With several copies, the nearest count.
Chain A
Amino acid sequence: MHNWGVCTSCDHHFPVGPRERIAQLADGGEWTELWGELRASDPLRFTDLQPYVERVERAEASGMAEAIVTAELSLRGVPSVAAVMDFGFLGGSMGSVVGEKFARAAGRSAEKGRPLIVVTASGGARMQEGVIALMQMAKTVVAVENLREARAPLIVVLAHPTTGGVWASFASLGDFTYAEPGALIAFSGPRVIEQTTREKLPPDFGLAEAQLHNGQVDAVVDRRELPARIGHVLGILDRPRGFDPPPAIQWAHQSRERASRAAQALPGLPRRLADRLRPNSDRRAP
């Protein structure tokens, strides 16, 4: 996809399909799909404005298998597992297939001691699977516990939108959590909140930038920088193999001024926040 699905003029992040997304993350664009054979079932024989089975069939007919694609890949040289959601498949809703594929991906990560890279884009639980969809939230949290015990990193990238049961389960539990610019991140969406509480919401309600301010994500990261950023983190967490590599401390024999300026410019320094904070402010939620 042209420019990674980011507008060359205004940097708007357009939706990107899961396979393109994985190709963006994978070294050389090469990756292997896992568990592509899992398909939605219809345990409730559910019908709203149309039968669930027809919704699924139509979505599958367009070439998508389900709302999540799982894969093995190498990211900046680190063998990894990825689980990438697809908002195009029934709004990226989490039903049994999403829960099972996420759990299997986490299991593979735990078993092989490899990082799990997750990209979320979801309207929440798949309502057509009823309470069984709700249970997928708990199932994915079990999977996160498996990762923790195996000491496998969980990197979460929140794409637009990440809401409902996905945000209230594994998407909130990353070791490192990045959000794409402008992504809506919320448990209850703006419409539900306005209808329930008659609150007038601020224009940036729930957006990635506001959620950074709210302490809910580690950084807002441009899509084109994601592989480098994730690769950077994975490189840091990588255990030494065999014996310690030579120290090779990067002694910066530079002037104090240069060194200081360089330090200020380290990745992750939340410069943008500065504008939002009052001098000497004793901050609380806005």
Chain B
Amino acid sequence: MSVVRRGRFTRKITAKISPDRSDGDDVWDVIQLARHQDRPYPLDYVQRLMTDFEEIHGDRLLSDDPALVCGVGRYHGRPVAVIGHQKGRDTNERTFRNFGMPSPEGYRKGMRLMELAAKFDLDLITLIDTPGAYPGAGAEERGQGGAIARSMQAMLRLPVPTVAVVIGEGSSGGALALGVADRVVMLENTTYSVISPEGGSAILWRDAGRARDAAAAFRPTAANCYRWGVADAVVPEPPGGAHEDADEAARLLDTYLDRTLSELRRLTDAERRTRRRERFRRMGVYREVPPEGGAAIASGRAGRSASSPNDHPAQGKRDPSS
């Protein structure tokens, strides 16, 4: 196969996605593109996709975290809620934004926006682009782990349609905290990974310099995440990457977002919540070996669930090697 296809989105999602980005250099290229400092950030997409936008500030507990931008906007004539990791483009703004690494206060601001989304029946769009949640002593003391866990919990409980878009690098729980959505989509040149390649290098290779090797091992590109069932769709970017033409990047995302939200709105609140839970409940690849002296256990786990048309081959599947 040479083109990533995905049901009714096939027409639009026909970009030049190599389906086999397992080569280490290719993966490294995508990582560089995902981190390109001229890539559009959440406020760049908001500027292009929304006719109005009003940011909220503060968690009502302790502080405001500029690493997460949260607000309400008008999208295709409807009110929506937006949460995005904002990295900052110049040195001053990067420092101000803490390089897009949220503190617990950021996730708690996000949960406050989710309450508004529930009250006002706003579709929720999250825009993911972070090297991870901020690793600081103060962040730990103020419950970084619990903030991420409760952000996922809040997304699972939301009655409204939710779409998570990886627009740059999506690393670690700091990314997933905003990723527990009805649909998870990745732009073409983005990554979604359990850890940054640098972090993986330090831990698995015990050597900070093996980031390329780690990247080649994790293979966290959009195409691979789609193949693994972690992403529901891959949205093409303009030639050369989103940083070459932010307007076109936004337009391509818009096509996917608008259609997907319309589709999700056709479901009831309860249906969306149930399917959202089922989607993540199915994640994982494992073997079931026969218990000692018993027969192989093979029932129920393999294949697609009838209740979800968006099931993935890689979800809930027993590995063929088992």
Interface residues of A (CB under 8 A from B): 36-44, 46-49, 95-97, 99-100, 103, 125-139, 141-146, 148, 151, 153, 164-165, 167-173, 175-176, 185-188, 192-193, 195-197, 199, 201-202, 205-206, 210, 212-219, 232-233, 235-240, 244-254, 256, 259-260, 262-264, 266-270, 273-274, 277, 279-286
* Contacting residues, chain A, for B89 (C-beta < 8 A): 260, 264
B32 in the interface, Cβ–Cβ < 8 Å? no
CB distance from B255 to the nearest CB of A (A): 11
Can you pick out 19 interface pairs between chain A and chain B where the beta carbons lie within 8 Å of each other? A44-B218, A130-B217, A131-B228, A135-B284, A138-B180, A172-B60, A172-B143, A172-B148, A176-B54, A187-B140, A188-B135, A193-B136, A214-B141, A215-B60, A218-B55, A247-B258, A250-B48, A263-B47, A277-B66
CB atoms of A249 and B76 under 8 A apart: yes
With beta carbons under 8 angstroms apart, the residue of B55, B95, B214 that contacts A269 is B55
- List residues of B (127-172) whose CB comes within 8 Å of A's CBs: 133-146, 148-150, 152-153, 156-157, 172
Contacts of B206 in A (CB 8 A): 49
Given A132-B230, A196-B136, A282-B137, list of 17 further CB < 8 A pairs?
A38-B289, A40-B287, A43-B228, A125-B195, A128-B204, A131-B218, A131-B225, A134-B176, A134-B193, A151-B121, A176-B56, A197-B135, A214-B142, A216-B145, A218-B58, A233-B72, A268-B57
* Nearest residue, chain B, Cβ from A134: B194
State whether B135 touches A249 (Cβ < 8 A). no
Residues of B within 8 A of A285 (CB): 62-63, 138, 141-142
* Chain B residue contacts of A205, Cβ below 8 A: 137, 140
B80 smallest CB distance to A (angstroms):
9
Name the contact of A267 in the complex, choosing from B55, B93, B136, B141 (C-beta under 8 A): B55
In whole angstroms, what is the CA distance A268 to B53 when docked? 9
Which residues of B (215-269) have their CB < 8 Å from a CB of A?
217-220, 225, 228, 230, 243, 245-247, 251, 254, 258
Q: How far is the CA of A261 from the CA of B84 in the complex (A)?
A: 18
In order of increasing CB-CB distance, the 5 nearest A-B pairs are A268-B55, A215-B58, A282-B136, A188-B135, A96-B284
Binds A, one of B4-12, B13-21, B314-322: B314-322
A169–B176 Cα gap in the complex (Å)? 10
CB-based contact B281/A279 at 8 Å: no
Which one of B48, B58, B152, B219 lies within 8 Å of A141 (CB-CB)?
B152
When distances are taken between beta carbons in the complex, the residues of chain B under 8 Å from A270 are 55, 57, 64, 66
Q: How far is the CB of B105 from chain A (nearest CB, A)?
A: 6
Q: How far is the CB of A169 from chain B (nearest CB, A)?
A: 5
Give the contacting residue for B119; candidates A137, A175, A266; CB below 8 A: A175
In the bound complex, residues from chain B placing their C-beta under 8 Å from that of A267 are 53-55
B56 / chain A contacts, CB cutoff of 8 Å: 176, 218, 268
Give me the interface of B with A, judged by CB distance under 8 Å: 38, 41, 43-44, 46-49, 51-66, 71-74, 76-79, 89, 92-93, 95-96, 98, 103, 105, 109, 116, 119-121, 133-146, 148-150, 152-153, 156-157, 172-173, 176-177, 179-180, 192-195, 199-200, 202-206, 213-214, 217-220, 225, 228, 230, 243, 245-247, 251, 254, 258, 277, 280-281, 283-291, 297, 314, 318-319, 321-322
- Complex CA distance for A169 and B288, rounded to whole angstroms: 25
Chain B residue nearest to A246 in the complex (CB): B77
Chain B residues near A130: list those with CB within 8 A: 193-194, 217-220, 228
Residues of B within 8 A of A201 (CB): 137
Question: Using Cβ atoms and an 8 Å threshold, which residues of chain A touch B77?
Answer: 240, 244-248
How far is the CB of B206 from the nearest CB of chain A, in Å? Answer: 8
Establish whether residues A187 and B133, one from each chain, have CB atoms under 8 Å apart when the complex forms.
Answer: yes
Contact indicator A187/B148 (Cβ below 8 Å)? yes
A193 to B133, CA, bound (A): 11
Q: How far is the CB of A261 from chain B (nearest CB, A)?
A: 10
When chains A and B are docked, how far (Å) is the Cα of A279 from the Cα of B88? 13
Question: SS class of chain B's interface: helix, strand, loop or mixed?
Answer: mixed
In the complex formed, the residue of B with least CB distance to A154 is B119
Q: Chain A residues near B46 (CB, 8 Å)? A: 263, 266
**Contact between A37 and B199, CB atoms less than 8 A apart:** no
Asked if A127 and B137 make an inter-chain contact with CB atoms under 8 angstroms apart, the answer reads: no
Contacts of A99 in B (CB 8 A): 283-284
Residue of B136, B140, B246, B314 with most chain A CB atoms under a 10 A cut-off? B140
Chain B residues near A170: list those with CB within 8 A. 149
Q: How far is the CA of A236 from the CA of B61 in the complex (A)?
A: 26
Instruction: Evaluate whether A43 and B285 lie within 8 angstroms (CB atoms) in the complex, with A131-B220, A148-B119, A249-B48 already known.
Output: yes
Question: Known: A37-B288, A103-B281, A256-B246. Is A144-B153 also a contact (CB below 8 A)?
Answer: yes
With known contacts A213-B63, A235-B74, A236-B54, A282–B138 Cβ distance under 8 A:
yes
Residues of chain B within 8 A of A129, CB atoms compared: 194, 285
Do B137 and A215 touch across chains, with their CB atoms under 8 A apart? no
User: Which of A251, A277, A283 has its CB near the most chain B CB atoms (within 10 A)?
Assistant: A283
The answer to whether B64 and A273 touch across the interface, beta carbons within 8 angstroms, is yes
Contact A252 B47 (CB under 8 A): yes
Q: State the Cβ distance, A258 to closest chain B Cβ, in Å.
A: 10
**Contact of A100 with B286 at beta-carbon distance under 8 Å, contacts A36-B291, A240-B78 already known:** yes
Q: Report the bound CA distance from A256 to B71 in whole Å.
A: 23
Instruction: Give complex CA distance A172, B89 in Å.
Output: 34
Known contacts A131-B230, A264-B43; is-contact A188 B144 (Cβ 8 Å): yes
